[in-house]
Chain A
Protein backbone atom coordinates (compact mmCIF):
# COMPACT_ATOMS: atom_id res chain seq x y z
CA UNK A 1 0.00 0.00 0.00
CA UNK A 2 1.12 3.61 -0.54
CA UNK A 3 2.27 5.44 2.55
CA UNK A 4 0.62 8.61 3.75
CA UNK A 5 2.69 11.68 2.86
CA UNK A 6 4.21 13.81 5.61
CA UNK A 7 6.85 16.55 5.43
CA UNK A 8 10.28 15.17 6.26
CA UNK A 9 10.98 17.84 8.82
CA UNK A 10 9.34 20.72 10.66
CA UNK A 11 11.04 23.09 13.08
CA UNK A 12 10.08 25.83 15.47
CA UNK A 13 11.35 27.83 18.40
CA UNK A 14 10.29 27.17 21.99
CA UNK A 15 6.81 28.54 22.61
CA UNK A 16 5.87 28.63 18.96
CA UNK A 17 3.21 26.53 17.26
CA UNK A 18 3.81 24.10 14.41
CA UNK A 19 1.59 21.95 12.20
CA UNK A 20 2.40 18.62 10.59
CA UNK A 21 0.33 17.48 7.62
CA UNK A 22 -0.50 13.93 6.61
CA UNK A 23 -1.95 13.47 3.14
CA UNK A 24 -3.70 10.35 1.93
CA UNK A 25 -6.56 9.47 -0.39
CA UNK A 26 -10.30 8.91 -0.33
CA UNK A 27 -9.59 5.26 0.50
CA UNK A 28 -7.96 6.07 3.80
CA UNK A 29 -7.91 9.50 5.46
CA UNK A 30 -10.57 10.98 3.19
CA UNK A 31 -13.00 8.13 3.72
CA UNK A 32 -12.80 7.38 7.42
CA UNK A 33 -12.32 9.13 10.75
CA UNK A 34 -9.63 6.71 11.88
CA UNK A 35 -6.55 8.91 11.88
CA UNK A 36 -4.06 8.55 14.70
CA UNK A 37 -0.78 10.27 15.53
CA UNK A 38 2.25 8.97 17.39
CA UNK A 39 5.32 10.59 18.92
CA UNK A 40 8.51 8.55 18.66
CA UNK A 41 11.79 9.27 20.36
CA UNK A 42 14.31 6.99 18.57
CA UNK A 43 15.11 3.85 20.49
CA UNK A 44 12.01 4.17 22.63
CA UNK A 45 8.44 2.99 22.30
CA UNK A 46 6.18 5.17 20.13
CA UNK A 47 3.49 7.01 22.11
CA UNK A 48 -0.10 7.58 21.01
CA UNK A 49 -0.98 11.28 21.11
CA UNK A 50 -4.14 11.53 18.94
CA UNK A 51 -6.71 8.93 17.88
CA UNK A 52 -9.86 9.07 15.77
CA UNK A 53 -8.70 12.37 14.20
CA UNK A 54 -9.19 14.65 17.20
CA UNK A 55 -9.17 12.66 20.44
CA UNK A 56 -6.37 12.83 23.00
CA UNK A 57 -5.64 9.87 25.27
CA UNK A 58 -5.58 10.46 28.99
CA UNK A 59 -2.33 12.11 30.04
CA UNK A 60 -1.56 13.76 26.70
CA UNK A 61 -1.14 17.53 26.89
CA UNK A 62 -3.79 19.72 25.28
CA UNK A 63 -0.92 21.39 23.42
CA UNK A 64 -1.41 18.56 20.93
CA UNK A 65 -4.47 18.72 18.69
CA UNK A 66 -5.62 16.90 15.57
CA UNK A 67 -7.87 17.80 12.67
CA UNK A 68 -8.81 16.65 9.19
CA UNK A 69 -9.94 18.25 5.96
CA UNK A 70 -10.70 15.99 3.05
CA UNK A 71 -7.82 13.56 2.60
CA UNK A 72 -5.37 15.56 4.69
CA UNK A 73 -5.01 15.25 8.44
CA UNK A 74 -3.01 17.63 10.58
CA UNK A 75 -1.31 17.56 13.95
CA UNK A 76 -0.78 20.89 15.67
CA UNK A 77 1.63 21.38 18.53
CA UNK A 78 1.35 24.64 20.44
CA UNK A 79 3.75 26.07 23.01
CA UNK A 80 6.61 24.04 21.54
CA UNK A 81 8.93 22.53 24.18
CA UNK A 82 12.35 20.88 24.00
CA UNK A 83 10.77 17.55 24.89
CA UNK A 84 8.60 17.73 21.79
CA UNK A 85 11.67 17.14 19.64
CA UNK A 86 10.98 13.70 18.18
CA UNK A 87 9.70 11.88 15.13
CA UNK A 88 5.94 12.02 14.52
CA UNK A 89 3.97 9.72 12.30
CA UNK A 90 0.34 9.45 11.33
CA UNK A 91 -1.73 6.38 10.63
CA UNK A 92 -5.13 5.66 9.12
CA UNK A 93 -7.44 2.81 8.39
CA UNK A 94 -7.04 1.82 4.74
CA UNK A 95 -9.78 0.23 2.66
CA UNK A 96 -7.31 -1.71 0.60
CA UNK A 97 -5.40 -4.88 1.32
CA UNK A 98 -3.85 -3.72 4.56
CA UNK A 99 -5.91 -2.57 7.51
CA UNK A 100 -3.48 0.17 8.37
CA UNK A 101 -1.43 2.66 6.41
CA UNK A 102 1.23 4.79 8.03
CA UNK A 103 2.79 8.14 7.25
CA UNK A 104 6.33 8.67 6.05
CA UNK A 105 7.24 10.38 9.33
CA UNK A 106 8.21 13.93 10.28
CA UNK A 107 11.19 14.94 12.36
CA UNK A 108 10.34 17.86 14.63
CA UNK A 109 13.26 20.03 15.68
CA UNK A 110 13.03 22.60 18.45
CA UNK A 111 15.46 25.37 17.58
Chain B
Protein backbone atom coordinates (compact mmCIF):
# COMPACT_ATOMS: atom_id res chain seq x y z
CA UNK B 1 0.00 0.00 0.00
CA UNK B 2 1.36 3.38 -1.03
CA UNK B 3 1.64 5.82 1.85
CA UNK B 4 2.91 9.38 2.01
CA UNK B 5 3.26 11.27 5.28
CA UNK B 6 4.31 14.88 5.53
CA UNK B 7 5.87 16.44 8.61
CA UNK B 8 7.55 19.63 9.72
CA UNK B 9 4.74 22.14 9.50
CA UNK B 10 4.75 24.72 12.31
CA UNK B 11 4.21 28.39 13.08
CA UNK B 12 7.16 30.44 11.80
CA UNK B 13 7.85 34.17 11.64
CA UNK B 14 8.03 36.07 8.36
CA UNK B 15 11.51 35.86 6.92
CA UNK B 16 12.14 32.57 8.65
CA UNK B 17 13.02 29.15 7.28
CA UNK B 18 11.47 25.72 7.54
CA UNK B 19 12.09 22.27 6.12
CA UNK B 20 9.21 19.94 5.34
CA UNK B 21 9.67 16.19 4.96
CA UNK B 22 7.58 13.56 3.23
CA UNK B 23 8.18 9.92 4.09
CA UNK B 24 7.10 7.45 1.42
CA UNK B 25 6.45 3.71 1.51
CA UNK B 26 4.84 1.00 -0.55
CA UNK B 27 6.59 1.64 -3.87
CA UNK B 28 10.08 1.82 -5.43
CA UNK B 29 10.67 5.41 -4.46
CA UNK B 30 13.52 6.30 -6.83
CA UNK B 31 11.41 5.38 -9.86
CA UNK B 32 8.93 8.19 -9.36
CA UNK B 33 8.77 11.93 -9.76
CA UNK B 34 7.51 13.59 -6.57
CA UNK B 35 5.69 16.90 -6.12
CA UNK B 36 4.68 19.41 -3.46
CA UNK B 37 1.28 21.11 -3.75
CA UNK B 38 -0.10 23.66 -1.29
CA UNK B 39 -3.50 25.02 -0.33
CA UNK B 40 -3.76 28.37 1.48
CA UNK B 41 -6.66 28.65 3.94
CA UNK B 42 -9.93 29.10 2.08
CA UNK B 43 -8.23 29.06 -1.32
CA UNK B 44 -7.50 26.63 -4.12
CA UNK B 45 -4.56 24.35 -4.63
CA UNK B 46 -1.25 25.54 -6.08
CA UNK B 47 1.55 23.43 -7.54
CA UNK B 48 4.81 24.31 -5.74
CA UNK B 49 7.65 22.08 -6.93
CA UNK B 50 8.52 18.75 -8.52
CA UNK B 51 11.65 16.59 -8.49
CA UNK B 52 12.74 13.73 -10.75
CA UNK B 53 13.32 10.23 -9.47
CA UNK B 54 17.08 10.66 -9.38
CA UNK B 55 16.82 14.12 -7.86
CA UNK B 56 18.78 15.57 -10.74
CA UNK B 57 15.97 17.73 -12.09
CA UNK B 58 13.70 20.10 -10.21
CA UNK B 59 11.06 22.64 -11.19
CA UNK B 60 9.38 25.40 -9.21
CA UNK B 61 6.39 27.69 -9.37
CA UNK B 62 7.34 31.32 -9.99
CA UNK B 63 5.87 32.25 -6.59
CA UNK B 64 8.54 30.22 -4.76
CA UNK B 65 11.46 30.22 -7.20
CA UNK B 66 14.66 31.32 -5.50
CA UNK B 67 13.20 30.84 -2.01
CA UNK B 68 12.22 27.15 -1.92
CA UNK B 69 14.37 24.14 -2.73
CA UNK B 70 13.18 20.57 -3.22
CA UNK B 71 15.43 17.55 -2.67
CA UNK B 72 15.20 13.85 -2.00
CA UNK B 73 17.09 11.08 -0.25
CA UNK B 74 16.24 7.92 -2.13
CA UNK B 75 17.98 5.73 0.43
CA UNK B 76 15.57 7.08 3.05
CA UNK B 77 12.47 7.19 0.79
CA UNK B 78 12.03 10.84 1.71
CA UNK B 79 11.53 14.12 -0.13
CA UNK B 80 12.15 17.51 1.41
CA UNK B 81 11.05 21.07 0.81
CA UNK B 82 13.43 23.69 2.16
CA UNK B 83 11.51 26.94 2.55
CA UNK B 84 13.46 30.18 3.07
CA UNK B 85 12.45 33.85 3.28
CA UNK B 86 8.95 32.81 4.25
CA UNK B 87 6.07 35.22 3.69
CA UNK B 88 2.55 35.40 5.07
CA UNK B 89 1.26 34.26 1.68
CA UNK B 90 3.17 30.98 2.09
CA UNK B 91 0.73 30.01 4.84
CA UNK B 92 -0.94 26.83 3.60
CA UNK B 93 -1.42 23.12 4.01
CA UNK B 94 1.45 21.53 2.11
CA UNK B 95 0.78 18.20 0.41
CA UNK B 96 3.30 15.70 -0.89
CA UNK B 97 2.13 13.89 -4.01
CA UNK B 98 3.44 11.02 -6.11
CA UNK B 99 3.44 11.12 -9.90
CA UNK B 100 2.60 7.89 -11.80
CA UNK B 101 6.11 7.61 -13.22
CA UNK B 102 9.43 9.40 -13.47
CA UNK B 103 7.92 11.89 -15.87
CA UNK B 104 5.32 14.64 -15.91
CA UNK B 105 1.99 12.89 -16.44
CA UNK B 106 0.10 15.94 -15.17
CA UNK B 107 -1.73 14.09 -12.43
CA UNK B 108 -0.91 12.58 -9.05
CA UNK B 109 -1.89 9.04 -8.19
CA UNK B 110 -1.25 9.34 -4.44
CA UNK B 111 -1.21 12.19 -1.94
CA UNK B 112 -0.35 12.60 1.72
CA UNK B 113 -2.75 14.12 4.27
CA UNK B 114 -0.77 17.37 4.39
CA UNK B 115 1.08 19.47 6.97
CA UNK B 116 0.12 23.02 7.99
CA UNK B 117 2.64 25.83 7.69
CA UNK B 118 1.67 29.13 9.27
CA UNK B 119 3.78 32.21 8.64
CA UNK B 120 2.90 34.92 11.13
CA UNK B 121 4.47 37.23 13.66
Contact = CB atoms under 8 A, between A and B. Distances in A.
A38 to B, nearest CB: 8
Interface stretch (A12-20, A40-48, A77-85): A40-48
Contacts of B4: 45
Main SS class of interface, B? loop
Contacts of B46: 98, 102
A29 to B, nearest CB: 12
B107 A47 contact: no
Contact of A48 (B37, B47, B110): B110
B110 A52 contact: no
A43 B44 contact: no
27 contacts: A32-B106, A34-B105, A36-B106, A36-B107, A38-B108, A45-B95, A46-B95, A46-B108, A47-B111, A48-B107, A48-B110, A51-B100, A51-B107, A52-B107, A57-B109, A92-B106, A97-B62, A98-B47, A98-B61, A98-B62, A99-B50, A99-B104, A100-B106, A101-B47, A103-B44, A104-B44, A105-B44
Interface of A: 3, 32, 34, 36, 38, 43-48, 51-52, 57, 89, 91-93, 97-105
